[in-house]
Amino acid sequence: MKYLPIDCRLFIQNRSNLIDKIDDNSISILNSNDIMPTNSDGTMPFKQNSDLFWATGIDQEESVLAIIKKNGSVSELLFVKETNEHIAIWEGAKLTKSSATKTSGIEDVFWLSEMDKIIEKEIEGVSTIYLNKNIHNRATKVVQTRDDRYRNYIAEKFPKKEIKEIAPIMHSLRCIKSNLEIELMQRACNITEKGLRRILPIIKPGIMEYEIEAELMHEFLSNRSTGFAYQPIIGSGANSCVLHYIENNKKCEDGDVLLMDFGAEYANYTSDLTRTVPVNGVFSNRQKNIYKSVLKVMKEATNMLRPGTDHKQMQQEVVKIMEGELIKLKLFDQHDVKKQDPKNPMYKKYFMHGTSHFLGLDVHDVGDTSFPMKPGMVFTCEPGIYIREEGIGIRLENDVLVTSGDPDDLMKNIPIELDEIESLMNE
């Protein structure tokens, strides 16, 4: 891995928190992700299952964690792929049992080939089996995962055993970040800052969107990131109004704004930044006024990211502020608002997405918005105004830690004020 070794105390504590939540007389099983095929003998880059990584720090395919909690005692078993000379020559070194222990803090490490015999024996002695499933509300459930296949195997092999879902427990635990996790996320944010500072001076009329993407990737890889935490959006002109524009293949023209939504990942932890800048280095008066409105909404929304805040109520408050700014920009007036259809409010034409989402091991991280915010949660804050008829889309986004006091903006050192942006672009 490109990232530096992580203190295994993080994963030991994570498992301890998980063990406190699961029933006695149970076994919990977490599988790694698969290496996904492309065509012929090609494969996609490996991305570890976030739950398994959170619990073990193991960043290798064909890995499985089993936790047995029985009669007041706990056993932690880790199964990893056994390496050999052929694998070492073609793929490089894999985890040894000792290196797996050093990474995870788990003493009992076995080869994956031993797993079925050991696990089946342990299952016979418990009443409940916790299995994993992707229940994220944005998940696209088309491809069968290793967890899905294992669930089918267990259900067929042990039809009389009770199967419980571990995912809701994982969601409740993963949404609260420990100090070590915050340090990793801060490092991801710091790498993202380096990327932004690298590209601002080179953005000029005529540069291609993909050239900017390439510069960001160079900076990320140079700082031990494996690259983008998600597909970057580098959209100029009319493309700035396309929420999930990822082609990044157009020329940036004089007079246009450039919306850039990107973030580095570090040690599987993500960052998520958006900045909108003038291609020629100077905002027009109209662009400047829209930018100021978005920044005002962002600052007020950031201040709402506090313990006890209700997610739905926060969005309603943000919408009220945004509505006032849209009126100020003369996109509609108060009279129009009084006549609007409550089911299709006018602001949605210009601000059609939510203000915040959980952030962590996944860019849209797990968490339950039906519960109030708590210290240790990390959210994006990303209001935007998109005026398609003018070809101007402006979004601003930072990553914010909820604390027991004031919100802690993990991107507070990243330029965002109008004069900062223009100054850096004209160095």
For the segment 199-230, what is each residue's pLDDT rounded down to a tens digit?
999 999 999 999 999 999 999 999 999 999 99
The pLDDT value given to residue 142: 78
For the stretch 41-87, pLDDT in tens is 899 999 999 999 999 999 999 999 999 999 989 999 999 999 877 88
Average pLDDT, the chain: 96
| Two tokens, residue 201 | 């001076």
Beta-strand (E) ranges in 263-346?
264-266, 269-270, 273-278
Confidence of residue 427 (pLDDT cuts 50, 70, 90): confident
Please state the pTM of the whole predicted model.
Answer: 0.96
Neighbours of 374 (CB within 10 A): 15
Confidence of residue 300 (pLDDT cuts 50, 70, 90): very high
The pLDDT value given to residue 81: 93
**Nearest-CA neighbor of 120 among 29, 33, 18?**
29
The pLDDT value given to residue 166: 98
362 vs 342, higher pLDDT? 362
The pLDDT value given to residue 228: 98
The pLDDT value given to residue 371: 95
The CA distance from 308 to 311, in Å, is 9
The pLDDT value given to residue 93: 80
Q: What is the DSSP string of 211-260?
A: HHHHHHHHHHHTTT--EESS--EEEEGGGGG-TT-----SBPPTT-EEEE
Q: Output phi, psi for 193, to 5 deg.
A: -60, -45
As beta bridge partners, residue 37 has 43
Q: What is the DSSP letter of 82?
A: P
Asked if residue 135 has pLDDT above 90, the reply is no
Domain architecture of the chain: domains with CATH: 9-174 (3.40.350.10), 179-425 (3.90.230.10)
Taking the alpha carbons at both ends of the chain, their separation in whole angstroms is 36
**Nearest-CA neighbor of 304 among 318, 292, 291?**
318
The pLDDT value given to residue 90: 80
Instruction: Over range 11-38, report the average pLDDT.
Output: 96
Instruction: Over range 21-29, report the average pLDDT.
Output: 97
pLDDT > 90: what percent of the chain? 91
Asked if residue 17 has pLDDT above 90, the reply is yes
The pLDDT value given to residue 342: 86
Number of helices and strands in the chain (H, E): 13, 17
